[in-house]
């Protein structure tokens, strides 16, 4: 990935800011973000040294999108990432994740952009009967509006790709963790324990088990795989191993140097953390591996490193 002009949506966010940091070394990077979930602190160094051109912009504003100059590649990360809040405001998931993606595709169509990378999600599968879940599993039956909106985004991308001849890489993420995160289980546990060092509320029954991937592996695998495919394609991104919620809680407690913390489980529906929470999620990553990518960190290692990174950034 060199000498390209690249547009990154959601550039100031968790994965977007990590992607910008990697791309800026050898490319001309333009970032947009409406800053609704974050601010510019993660991309401030790149703004100062001029390696990132940034526009505060909402992907729901099609006119603003179309005002941007043409690019060689769009990396589309902008989304409403609050999976838990979907049951309270399903319209918002549709607007940002489905209609927003359609607007990005319209920008690509009108500016003749030939390539796209899209951040989808394991939530499109719903609660699959097959674990680990391969890319060709079906039918997709998402149990959250977040998953439904990501599935809609995928559909629009493959349709536009067929209509207008551009190449799209669609990546279904497991749970991504690491530096610059501003939400998620690690961030929530640390915040809760900073307020009360004796008790930790854990949503669900603690047996939820998912595959976690460090953000550096996520960014690296995206660029590695996109450069190696010829046609529009879909890849799972994750780890072969999984980590339980209790294991994450134990790691946070250990790295915060706390003793005797009591875990209080909320129970939830069938032990889930919230409505729409997939209790056990593990993606088959055979295709990712077959193309030559190998993660640096396992699921447990990703969690351990991410806890340290988030703690460092919170206390900085």
Q: Are residues 88 and 219 in the same domain?
A: yes
Residue 292 domain flag? no
Length of the chain: 316
CA nearest 283: which of 247, 311, 241?
A: 241
Q: How far is CA 243 from CA 121, 130, 278, in A?
A: 18, 18, 14
Number of domains the chain contains: 2
Q: Scan for tokens 């008790």, then name that residue.
A: 199
Q: How many CB atoms lie within 10 A of CB 74?
A: 24
Tens-binned pLDDT, residue by residue, of the chain (316 aa): 899 999 999 999 999 999 999 999 999 999 999 999 899 999 999 999 999 999 999 999 999 999 999 999 999 999 998 777 777 889 999 999 999 999 999 999 999 999 999 999 999 999 999 999 999 999 999 999 999 999 999 999 999 999 999 999 999 999 999 999 988 999 999 999 999 999 999 999 989 999 999 999 999 999 999 999 999 999 999 999 999 999 999 999 999 999 999 999 998 778 888 777 888 899 999 999 999 999 999 999 999 999 999 999 998 7
CA angle 122, 31, 230 (to 5 degrees): 55
Residue 289 domain flag? no
Residue 160 domain flag? yes
Residue 308 domain flag? yes
**Active-site position among 125, 137, 146, 212:** 146
- Tell me the CATH number at 263: 3.90.25.10
Cis amide linkage into residue 132, ω under 30° from 0: yes
Q: Are residues 245 and 159 in the same domain?
A: no
Would you give the DSSP letter of residue 283?
A: B
CA angle 114, 115, 118 (to 5 degrees): 145
E strand or H helix at 175 = strand 175-177
Q: Are residues 111 and 141 in the same domain?
A: yes
- Tell me the CATH number at 233: 3.40.50.720
Active-site annotation holds for 146: yes
Identify the domain containing residue 163 by its residue range: 5-176+214-237
Residue 30 domain flag? yes
How many Cα atoms sit within 13 Å of 48 on the Cβ side? 6
CA nearest 89: which of 276, 271, 273?
A: 276
CA nearest 79: which of 146, 31, 145, 20?
A: 146
Q: Are residues 138 and 198 in the same domain?
A: no
């Amino acid at each position: 990935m060199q000498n390209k002009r690249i547009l990154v949506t959601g550039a100031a966010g968790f994965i977007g800011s990590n992607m910008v940091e990697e791309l800026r070394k050898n490319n001309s990077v333009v970032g947009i973000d409406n800053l609704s979930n974050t601010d510019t602190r993660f991309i401030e160094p790149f703004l100062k040294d001029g390696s990132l051109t940034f526009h505060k912009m909402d992907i729901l504003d099609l006119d603003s999108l179309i005002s941007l100059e043409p690019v060689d590649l769009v990396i589309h990360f902008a989304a409403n990432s609050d999976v838990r809040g979907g049951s309270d405001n399903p319209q918002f998931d549709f607007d940002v994740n489905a209609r927003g993606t359609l607007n990005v595709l319209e920008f690509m169509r009108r500016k003749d952009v030939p390539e796209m990378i899209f951040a989808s999600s394991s939530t499109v599968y719903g609660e699959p009967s097959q674990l680990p879940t391969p890319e060709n599993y079906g039918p997709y039956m998402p149990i959250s509006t977040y998953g439904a909106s990501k599935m809609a985004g995928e559909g629009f991308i493959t349709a536009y790709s067929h209509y207008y001849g551009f190449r799209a890489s669609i990546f279904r993420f497991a749970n991504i963790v690491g530096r610059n995160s501003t939400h998620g289980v690690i961030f929530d546990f640390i915040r809760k324990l900073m307020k009360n060092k004796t008790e930790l509320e854990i949503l669900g029954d603690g047996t939820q088990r998912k595959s976690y991937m460090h953000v550096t592996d996520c960014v690296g695998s995206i660029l590695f795989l996109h450069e190696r495919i010829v046609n529009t394609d879909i890849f799972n991104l994750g780890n072969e191993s999984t980590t339980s919620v209790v294991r994450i809680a134990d790691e946070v407690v250990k790295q915060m140097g706390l003793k005797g913390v009591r875990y209080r489980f909320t129970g939830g529906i069938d032990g889930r953390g919230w409505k729409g929470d997939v209790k056990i999620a593990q993606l088959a990553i055979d295709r990712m591996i077959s193309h030559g990518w190998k993660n640096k960190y396992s699921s447990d290692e990703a969690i351990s490193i991410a806890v340290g990174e988030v703690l460092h950034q919170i206390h900085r």
